[in-house]
A and B are shown apart, each in its own frame.
Chain A
């Protein structure tokens, strides 16, 4: 990943977001939400890159993959793939080809020999819709699902932490939006750049991998830059106030980055990703009284302050909240300190055929081990008052390998390479 470039994290001008004041916040939400000793006492709108300023490139090479602790971009295209080949060499070659393409695209370059100027008889290597666009802080992050380890003789390399997620109360998972042998998370400030990246990787992969499902997201719902304004979710609430910042290396080491001594040496420097598609019952939520909405979250709607407090970043007094309040249940103090790094996005996929907005939160959480991260938090949220208004409909879990070190390295080398 690439440590956070300071100049990107702290530009001078107020952001479009802070001016318009939309965006969303993580739903499942307030795992890392709510106060804490490190909370920064900021007031007023903080700043984030504007669209124009956010055109820069994020370094592709690094100890960790970019797209985890990197300041959260505005847009998402997430895709889960099934592996279609049983030829290990062919799959490894694909990972190398993908790495080369990802290296080019994150640098703002077209794939292969480009989108034009080549043989007139052949389709161009690059699909071309990102031509002329800036890199837009595009990050591409790959993850390997539990099912991948059933292939290519990898069973004994499956990390212990990459558990099959248990069934959680109230979820109604659609298997066509769940699972996958591998995933690629594309985040960028320009949606076209993110879509272009997934589209080109899918194209390179045809015959070797096939897209199983994918999700577009907008209006990031969590921030890894704590001096920025906490975004709001589609329910209109700030959530994720205490998310881990990209600069908090101690908390990243403790809660996000896997270590060789965790059991899988090939995962050192990697992380574990849980992706959940959380549908919101937008219409019923909108018909709910303000008091109930605030009770459900345990925050006020305007300021985002925890119950009984004045400011968003004031330390929450959990016992003042209703026992089933979302912030109360999600707070580390209610979960033996369980902490995750969230970088979720809102989604709106039109309407659902019944005229209801097909919308919600696409929750993405990174952690060192889901058994001490997402799972206890989500269990705790079984009693969440918010559950009346949301439902988890998609789910996936991936081992996200360490970063690509240099131009000779490739995604998944530590898993697939013999010498690694």
Chain B
């Protein structure tokens, strides 16, 4: 649950980071010699240049309209290259991106809604942006995987919620961890919808001022710490189903790119490194190893889909990743009697030395995994 501190605004930024193929939004350094001026109003999106050299580009955006707007640089198929949200009326912002030669669209979205007002632009010279059909296939397969995980999660959640509503503590505890597996496998995609994650997967320490604590971890505390299920918990259980159904409906529309898959895989390991390996994530139920395994599985899925291309570009990297995925999985298997089940050792029974060993294995995998995106786009 990296989104412990994610407000809706920062969650959107996370989504942006996930979806940007080669872009980054940052402050202007004040140079911008070759900057492209974008003047946004409530009804127009004017650009100063429609053709510019490929490479590093900078958009100097001025919102002269009355509504908050956002500006995107898009590939022809609407994948996002780079973007900037929340540009207030009368304010200026800068977006930078690295673009290869090819056709692009610049879109302004007054009110931050809809498809926006669009301008076709062209980057020329340099390397031609070519799309590898294998990567398109990888994205399609991953999108399918994310949908499958959501589809498979809902019945598990239904079992959990049914037990909660029946006031059956033991059954609810048993159904808790399995209900989270699909979510944990595809967490970066789930988190790309900034409004869902804070409702379903927030921990007490991640709440913002005025935010009501809902979702899995609130119920986890009721089951393991308070050891009772009241009317409030039953209402929250229903809410969990509603929120996850929303996720299930929207997951297919997530912005997914080869690099967001690669970076998402690394982020899953980061989740493990910061929350699971310390036992913070499941502090009441101690089912951290279930989440841990699911995160690794999700990361491995992304990796396996990207591997054919990555291997061609950086064989040493994929050899290392194969080795480190295997090592981590072997290590995790030590904590379950049956390799087909998700009955893992309770994390409060995992000693400090063992936690260190798990942490080292995560680092050993996550560091090379951080290079996967580069190997995919080379």
Residues of A within 8 A of B (CB): 82, 84, 119-123, 176, 203, 206-208, 210
Contact = CB atoms under 8 A, between A and B. Distances in A.
Contacts of A119: 374, 377-378
Contacts of B280: none
Nearest to A82: B360
A350 B360 CA distance: 25
Given A119-B374, A122-B373, A122-B374, A210 B363 contact: yes
Question: What is the interface of chain B mostly: helix, strand, loop, or mixed?
Answer: helix
Interface string B225-241: 00000000000000000
A118 to B, nearest CB: 8
A120 B371 CA distance: 11
A84 B374 contact: no
Contacts of A121: 22, 259, 262-263, 373-374, 376-377
A122 to B, nearest CB: 3
A199 to B, nearest CB: 12
Contacts of B370: 122-123
Contacts, number: 44
Nearest to B24: A120
Given A120-B24, A176-B352, A207 B371 contact: no
Contacts of B259: 121
B363 A120 contact: no
B367 interface: yes
B373 A207 contact: no
Interface string B339-378: 0000000000000100010011001111110110110111
B195 interface: no
A120 B22 contact: yes
B368 A207 contact: yes
Given A119-B374, A121-B259, A121-B377, A84 B24 contact: no
Contacts of B378: 119
Contacts of B324: 207
B23 interface: yes
B208 interface: no
B360 A210 contact: yes
A136 B92 CA distance: 40
A120 B374 CA distance: 8
Contacts of B371: 122-123
Nearest to A85: B364
Interface of B: 22-24, 98, 259, 262-263, 320, 324, 352, 356, 359-360, 363-368, 370-371, 373-374, 376-378
Nearest to A122: B374
Contact of A207 (B22, B359, B364): B364
Contact of B320 (A122, A176, A203, A207): A207
Contacts of B22: 120-121
Nearest to B362: A206
A394 to B, nearest CB: 16
Nearest to B377: A121
A115 to B, nearest CB: 14
Given A119-B377, A121-B373, 7 more contacts: A119-B374, A121-B377, A176-B352, A206-B368, A208-B364, A210-B356, A210-B364
Given A121-B377, A122-B371, A206 B23 contact: no
Ranked nearest first, the 9 interchain pairs of A and B with the lowest CB-CB distance are A122-B374, A207-B364, A206-B367, A210-B360, A121-B373, A206-B363, A119-B374, A123-B370, A120-B98
A84 B367 CA distance: 14
B64 to A, nearest CB: 30
B189 to A, nearest CB: 18
21 contacts: A82-B360, A119-B374, A119-B378, A120-B22, A121-B22, A121-B373, A121-B376, A122-B370, A122-B371, A122-B373, A123-B370, A176-B352, A203-B367, A206-B363, A206-B367, A207-B320, A207-B324, A207-B365, A207-B367, A207-B368, A210-B364
Contacts of B367: 203, 206-207
A119 B373 CA distance: 10
B374 A206 contact: no
A207 B366 CA distance: 9
Nearest to A117: B56
Contacts of A123: 370-371
A213 to B, nearest CB: 10
A37 B320 CA distance: 59
Given A207-B367, A207-B368, A210-B363, A120 B320 contact: no
A120 B23 contact: yes
Nearest to B97: A120
A208 B324 CA distance: 11
A36 to B, nearest CB: 45
B352 A206 contact: no
A119 B313 CA distance: 14
B364 A84 contact: yes
Contacts of B377: 119, 121
A82 B365 CA distance: 16
Contacts of A84: 360, 364
Q: Which of A123, A207, A208 has the most chain B CB atoms closer than 10 A to its own CB?
A: A207
Nearest to B353: A176
B349 to A, nearest CB: 19
Nearest to B323: A207
B59 to A, nearest CB: 16
A170 B378 CA distance: 59
Contacts of A210: 356, 359-360, 363-364
Nearest to B376: A121
Contacts of A120: 22-24, 98
A119 B56 CA distance: 11
